[in-house]
A and B are shown apart, each in its own frame.
Chain A
Amino acid sequence: MFGTYLLRELTHRRKQTAIIAIGMALAIALVIIVNSVAAGVRDAQAGVLASVYGVGTDVTVSRAPEAPAQGDGQSGPPAFDFGAADGQAADGSTTLAQERLNAARGTATFDAAALDTVLGVDSVSAATATLALQNTSFSGQIPTRDAASTDGSAPAGPPAGGADGAGGSSFNVDSFTVEGIDVAGAAVGPLTAATLADGRTFTAADAGSDVVVLDSDYATSADLAVGGTLSIGGADFEIIGLVASGGSNSYIPLDVAQALSGLDGQVSSIYVQAGSSSDVPQVQADIEAALPDATVSTQADLAASVSGSLSTASGLVSNLGTWLSVLVLAAAILIAILFTISGVTRRTREFGTLKAIGWSNRRIVGQVAGESLVQGAIGGVLGVAAGLVGILVVNLVAPTLTASATAQQTAGFGGQRPGGFGGAGPQAAAATTDITLHAPVTAAVILIAVGLAILGGILAGAVGGWRAARLRPAEALRSAA
């Protein structure tokens, strides 16, 4: 009887059923799509961050660079000092070559003892220190003009005019990023997210050795391969592996990096993993207290540093999308409630009659609630179908988003663009990544969506049932209207 009556009502009052179900379906579809796109954007952000900071990093510790002081070779562009002995005269020109390994621009180094301080903080499960460096090599030829300048006579023709304006000279400036890392296999840190493309990664035995692991993109662009050598800070390093990292151009053992750069006992970043995600705020606060000069950033802070259309999408989804779906859901539930109330009012005599022939209140409330619940569930099923179609469309279109992560406060990033030498200064260290948005569908989202639809139905049913329960059986005797 319950089922027959319910089915008859829903099919007979098709318009009401359709309006309630479609309203609910729209809301549910929106919830599913917004959720799924938001998850996609989050994945993309996590991907960008993981490629920079490694997997499992909850907190990073760095130090803000001081304003570049004059003559401070560490924070300004590397200075090259060429003495007379550096040049080699040959064929009337002087060949100069020099290589420098300095702290990466935009970073400041600090004492490695900070790592022990961090490891001493409660709820820190792992931490590793790295040193972000920049290797800059300069090589070039300058025509030997000593004779011409001493005798005071001008050259016959205008200078040949190189790109840099130095007549007749040719320079080659090359720079790439080098990150000194713990080779003993840290649980957190830059290479934990990287996939090995060729060769091998570090082992504890590599400490103190001149071995380098290259980012595979950089290796391709610089035409380097496993087994070859790369000059860093004047020393020849053996290339032992290639990784798809997205972070630094190259990785070397930390102790070697410190020695070669003259930054003994110095590091530029500490990557910290908290015992659980709920510990992160406490860990951040404790580290800030223990290291007052340090900049302590959480993943959330770091996510904020991701800019570009990815962050626009993230903002759009988390603000507009969430509000829109909440609004539409509220509207759908309100519509369901109003239609249910008006339905109960229209059926006053019907419910009065059922009470007059002995139906209990509970039985009638159940009937009204059942109708609303099924309407909500139909809406839920339609909504899931529409939502899945919507997600399919998003994934077929696969919009490409760009993400830029500025490496203002953290080292090791910004290496994607070698050759920024002499550019706009510290802020220039930024990388742009193209990310194809993939909106994932999870069973949880679908369950939540269907749950919301059923919740809407229950709400409408509860309000309608409450109205029906208050009807008096004597309503049946109201003169036939």
Chain B
Amino acid sequence: MYELKNVTKRYEQSRRTITALDDVTLSIPDGQLVAIQGPTGGGKSTLLQMLGALERPTKGSVTLGTAELATLPDSALAGIRAREVGFVFQGFNLIPTLTAQENVETALEPLRLPSAQRRSRAAAALASVGLGDRASHRPAELSGGQQQRVAIARALVKEPDVLLADEPTGSLDEETRDEIMDLLEGIWRDRGLTLIVVTHDSAVAKRAQRRLHIKQGRLTEKK
């Protein structure tokens, strides 16, 4: 359950101040599939950063469950990111030197699991996105769609309450886009987690229960 109250995020630059989020109030119940749309520079990624505990708002409050993300110290935010939030990026953001298996394991590193448990959980996560046979491949040896599957496995392996995806299909061709969206939707359905997807793609947005629009930092609900 997300509760955002009067959230404003400003970026101070040398000459001017950019208001990336302008007085956003929003509540997202657990288990919802939310699509966020809007023009480039509208504030979509900034909103996702607030939800994912990557940044603190300039003003307002962001609560996830009982945690107040606006005021927690860095280390506590890192802990929330490690346990409760899974992130999927447009650029996949895999570590190029690590294998698919090891990339998935990085998400379990902060949880300090025994290495055997870490390995078996990562292997299971890889299998669940259909890449059980690619565990020892490096990102460069995988297609874009496969890399995004590894990234999804990395986001899921910690069994988070929330999955945040910032334009997860933005770097993929049309056919692969559907595959990835099908995968994400399947995960949402099977696991009952909250899935918040930023997307330019109206076809993708149509699958969502709820559609939000952000333009110039202002949030509007679309029905």
Contact = CB atoms under 8 A, between A and B. Distances in A.
Given A1-B106, A349-B93, A479-B90, A356 B79 contact: no
A353 B75 CA distance: 16
Interface size class of B (residues with CB under 8 A): 35 or more
How many interface residues does chain A have, given as a range? 20 to 34
Nearest to A351: B95
A479 B44 CA distance: 12
A357 B79 CA distance: 9
Contacts of B161: none
Contact of B54 (A8, A361, A477, A479): A477
Interface string B79-116: 10111001101111101111000100111011000010
A13 B109 CA distance: 23
A12 interface: yes
Counting chain A CB atoms within 10 Å of each CB, the highest count among B82, B93, B118 belongs to B93
Interface stretch (B22-30, B45-53, B57-65): B45-53
Contacts of A8: 97-98, 102
Contact of A474 (B49, B105, B107): B49
B211 interface: no
B107 A357 contact: yes
Nearest to B91: A480
A4 interface: yes
Interface string B116-153: 00100000000000000000000000000000000000
A9 B115 CA distance: 20
B93 to A, nearest CB: 4
B117 to A, nearest CB: 13
Given A9-B97, A12-B97, A477-B166, A358 B54 contact: no
B68 interface: no
A358 B83 contact: yes
A19 to B, nearest CB: 18
Nearest to B102: A4
B78 interface: yes
Contact of B96 (A12, A357, A361): A12
A474 B54 contact: yes
Contacts of A349: 91, 93
Contacts of A361: 74-75, 78
A477 B158 CA distance: 20
A119 interface: no
B107 A358 contact: yes
A354 to B, nearest CB: 6
Interface of A: 1, 4-5, 8-9, 12-13, 349-350, 353-361, 363, 472-474, 476-477, 479-481
19 contacts: A4-B102, A5-B95, A5-B97, A8-B102, A12-B97, A350-B93, A353-B93, A354-B95, A356-B87, A357-B86, A357-B106, A358-B78, A358-B79, A358-B158, A360-B110, A476-B87, A477-B166, A479-B90, A479-B91
